[in-house]
Amino acid sequence: MSKYILPVSVFGTVFGCAVLLKNHVTGGPCPSQAKIAGKTVVITGANTGIGKETAKELAKRGGRIIMGCRDMEKCEAAAKEIRGQTLNPHVYAHHIDLASMKSIRLFAERVNKEEKHVDVLINNAGVMRCPAGKTEDGFDIQFGVNHLGHFLLTNLLLEKLKDSAPSRVINIASLAHIIGEIDFHDLNWDTKKFDTRKAYCQSKLANVLFTRELSQRLEGTGVTVNCLHPGVVATALGRHTGLHQSAFSSTVLSPFFTLLVKGPELGAQPSIYLAVAEELEGVTGRYYDVMTEKEPAPQALDQEVSRKLWEASARLVGLESEKPSSPAPVV
């Protein structure tokens, strides 16, 4: 029996260290236990991956959950599953296609009409490094879905968010923003040769710039806006990246990916944290790497670029560009 003690002890130590390392790298579970009974949460892309896990956890915490999804069959199934698992009957599936301005407007119109308040908006849906393509309105698919779609949706729900203050807007960005560049001469890849990696990074930089610009425009309203990098998460979002499509990556690299890449449940923790943490009340315009506040890339801090992007986005989606809101008077 004693000859097995050392191997078992070594295995246990290695396994324990691996678990601790993975928790350190992935951020671990949301530290806040705050409940959100009576609050309404709108989440895009909520039928799978991070969005679904976020919806489930916030439903557990008592929220009224509006799941915005393109595939209604999957969305209805996910909503039913979440209702059953959480025993929260207030989980609803609504249709939204972020590649269609018409669909976004119909979704926002329904939410504004049917919901008494919107306390949290989580702009979660996205596409990643997909082939060249255009949205229904002629935008590059990644810039259109990842940035312009959520830009329009957020603006259409702003009055409801203001009326519900204190409220929160959470944008899912990415570490990829650090190598992103905004090409104002060709935002939608109409003339230059398409590069899916650069297109994705541009859209993620746009998420951070949008977060910072909107936070300034909403100063004094009680609506906070923050963005986050969820970490490296194994979801369907990465289906176009080519990982594990070779014998080398699937056999040699797979153990390292397993250690460093987290599943959707852990991937959802940063979104949950930004949505519920009481210590973040009033915190706005920040970028979080998982659940740690960090300074974004220098190009994400350029106020002139963020203003210019806002104005360009407003023109593209048919919204009038407005000047930054003045701070509310101190009484």
Residue among 200, 273, 287, 288 flagged as catalytic: 200
Alpha-carbon distance of 225 to 161, in angstroms, equals 11
User: Are the C-beta atoms of 271 and 27 separated by less than 8 Å?
Assistant: no
How far are the Cα atoms of 34, 132, 227, 292, 323 from residue 284, in angstroms, in the given order?
19, 34, 9, 14, 19
The set of residues, in sequence order, having a beta carbon less than 8 Å from that of 304 and lying 6+ positions away, is none
Angle at 302 between CA 175 and CA 203, to 5 degrees: 40
Does residue 287 carry a catalytic annotation?
no
Tokens at residue 16, please? 């324990």
Spatial strand order in the sheet of 91-95: 91-95, 64-69, 40-44, 120-123, 167-172, 223-229, 287-289, 292-294
Q: Which string of DSSP letters, residue by residue, matches 105-143?
A: HHHHHHHHHH-S---EEEE-----SPPS-B-TTS-BHHH
CB contact at 8 A, 177 and 157: no
Q: Which amino acid is at 301?
A: L
207 in helix, strand or coil?
A: helix
Work out the burial of residue 135: count CB atoms within 10 Å of its CB; fewer than 13 is exposed, 13-18 middle, 19 or more buried: buried
Phi, psi of 249, rounded to the nearest 5 degrees: -70, -35
- Cite the active site residues: 200
